[in-house]
Amino acid sequence: MKKLIRGLLDFQRHTLPSYRATFARLAKGQSPDCLFISCSDSRVVPNLLVSTDPGDLFTVRNVGNLVPPAAQGGHSTADRSEAAAIEFSLGFLPIEDVVVCGHSSCGAMKAILAGGAVDGSPNLEHWLGHGKVSLKKLRENTRVGEGLPDADRLSQLNVLEQLEHLKTYPIVRDRLAAGTLRLHGWWFDIGAAQVHAYRADLGRFVPIDETEGDRLLTALSDEQPSLRAVQ
């Protein structure tokens, strides 16, 4: 905790002056254009990775970056927290893109791979059950994550599965059909500090390096202002 207090004081002394105007503007309201869904893992740091400012990302984080699907009527089949965040951000904020970001060496994926049993943690064990559907894909899809350890392959497949779960929500389906929303699958390789993006045309994740970044930026410019689902 001392690290947090010292960090807070350091922020107030050295960083806050350059953010005062930003926070003064944000006090009137937020207008993020991206819903970012990632694992709670401490090594995944969305704002740092994409150099965003306060107010840029509406963020949902949970163990395993899971989005339990909706059933009839758009009601979540699990905890309502993720579903509420989806409905709020897509319904009341100017969100144009949803990113689901998994990561390497994910403890949740390792646990699911090991059978999903977590002694003494009934809530965690139940929650990880939502990732078991991704486990089936591990045997069916050998292209995604080819060459990676099974837990990392599962993590990439799990990202794609959550994108499908997102599409079970009426508000996501409607926005995709209207061409006002894009879904993106990302994966963070912690050791290399490299973010990968899923390329539907290649059927696998590729690093967002200078070349891929330029390609993505060109594709986004070409399709504006009419957004289109890229996943």
- Among 53, 35, 162, residue whose Cα is nearest residue 109: 162
Q: How far is the CB of 43 from Zn ion (least distance, A)?
A: 8
**Residue 39 is a binding residue for Zn ion (CB under 5 A):** yes
The amino acid present at 95, given as its one-letter code, is I
Q: What is the DSSP letter of 69?
A: P
Q: How far is the CB of 76 from Zn ion (least distance, A)?
A: 21
- Among 16, 22, 32, residue whose Cα is nearest residue 97: 32
CA distance 29 to 181: 22
Rg (CA), the chain: 18
Q: How far is the CB of 105 from Zn ion (least distance, A)?
A: 8
CA distance 192 to 33: 28
Residues in contact with Zn ion, shown as a per-residue x/- string from 59 to 98 under the rule CB under 5 A: ----------------------------------------
Q: How far is the CB of 108 from Zn ion (least distance, A)?
A: 5
Q: Which stretch binds Zn ion (CB under 5 A): 36-44, 50-58, 82-90, 190-198?
A: 36-44
- Which is nearer to Zn ion, 39 or 99 (by Cβ)? 39
- Among 91, 94, 76, residue whose Cα is nearest residue 33: 94
- The three-point CA angle 160-161-162 to 5° equals 90
Query: Exactly one of 36, 41, 134, 205 binds Zn ion (CB under 5 A); which one?
Result: 41
**Residue 100 is a binding residue for Zn ion (CB under 5 A):** no
- Which is nearer to Zn ion, 26 or 78 (by Cβ)? 78
For binding to Zn ion (CB under 5 A), which residues are involved? 39, 41, 106, 108
